[in-house]
Every structure is written in C-alpha cells, then in structure tokens.
C-alpha cells in the first residue's frame, strides 16, 4: 500500500512539473528587457504587454498580417505614422523598422498607454487596439453595444470579440505564472 501511495505521489509530481514546463514554454518571457523598459516608460502592465504579444505574433518579430500589420505587437502603417507624431526628437524610422523588437514594443506599448488614457476600461482599450478607435467610439455611442459609453456589452466584429477574450486569457496566464 505504501509503495502505491509513493508511486502516485511521484506520478503527480511528474505531471505537475510537465504541466509547468509546458506553460513556461508556451508563455515565455521573451524580450524581457524591452518589455520592462516600455512598461516602466509608459506605465502599462507587463502581463498585458505579454498577453498582447502572445496573441498578436506569438513572439515572432517578423510576423506580418494579411492586413499589413507588422512585428511583435502587429502595428499597422497608419498607427505607426500617427505614433511618430508623438515623438519630439527627429527619427528616420521606416515601417519595416518595426521588425526590430525594441522599436516595435516601444511603439506598441505607447499606443496601449494612449488608448488607456482614452478608454477607462481595459477591455474597451483592447478592442480599440484591435478594431480601431473609430469603430470602438461608434460602438460606445450605440445602446446596442454599450449601456454607459465606457463598457462594451457586445462587440459586433467577431475577430475583435475573440481577440479581447484571448488577450484577457493570455494576460491572466502571464499574471499567474510570473507576476502574482
């Protein structure tokens, strides 16, 4: 009987370690220096940054979407150009430069900080990151999608609705694994 109990305990430890190794491998802390710097610079939660990178590109700095978004945080050309207007110093960045992880994370987190200032609710901000500010502003004014102009009770774009759920899930996993 004691051998069976010891064997079961050992098996449970092996399974738990395998599960932890799987989670650590599936949810890595890649680009930690860049994420920490951008998080501190813009005041954005590291777990959220990692949740967005995981969702957007799965840590592939060369990722390019069918819509033309580029890099780890999948920035669109129009967002990149708009964000450049916030930089006081001169820069000669081209859109292709967003394949550089440090630049992509800095611009992506800056966009998150701006959206966070615009929208009080993180879920709404995440929808704006994916679906665009104009769309989210329209949804917030529509009683079919928002009761209070801040929270979205429904998201009419299935891609954006799925995106916000996946980011929230990935953020939660990162928070539990590394930031709790």
Which residues have a catalytic role annotated?
56
Burial of 120 (0-12, 13-18, 19+ CB in 10 A): exposed
Q: Which residues pair with 64 in a beta bridge?
A: 70
Q: How far apart are CA 104 and CA 83, in angstroms?
A: 11
Q: Which run of H or of E encompasses 54?
A: helix 46-56
Q: How far apart are CA 110 and CA 118, in angstroms?
A: 13
CB-based contact 109:44 (threshold 8 Å): yes
Buried b (16+ CB within 10 A) or exposed e, 61-82: bebeeeeebbbbbbbbeebbee
């Amino acid at each position: 009987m004691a051998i069976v109990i010891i064997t079961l305990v050992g098996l449970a430890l092996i399974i738990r370690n395998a599960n932890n190794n799987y989670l650590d491998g599936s949810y890595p802390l890649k680009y930690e220096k860049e994420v920490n710097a951008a998080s501190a610079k813009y005041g954005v939660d590291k777990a959220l940054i990692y949740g967005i990178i995981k969702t957007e590109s799965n840590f592939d700095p060369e990722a390019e979407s069918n819509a033309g978004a580029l890099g780890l945080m999948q920035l669109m050309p129009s967002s990149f150009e708009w964000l450049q207007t916030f930089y006081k110093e001169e820069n000669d960045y081209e859109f292709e430069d967003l394949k550089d992880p440090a630049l992509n994370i800095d611009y992506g987190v800056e966009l998150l900080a701006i959206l966070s200032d615009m929208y009080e609710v993180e879920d709404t901000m995440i929808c704006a990151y994916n679906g665009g500010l104009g769309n989210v502003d329209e949804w917030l004014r529509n009683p079919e999608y928002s009761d209070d102009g801040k929270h979205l009770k429904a998201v009419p774009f299935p891609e954006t609705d799925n995106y916000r759920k996946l980011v929230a899930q990935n953020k939660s996993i990162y928070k539990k694994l590394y930031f709790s």
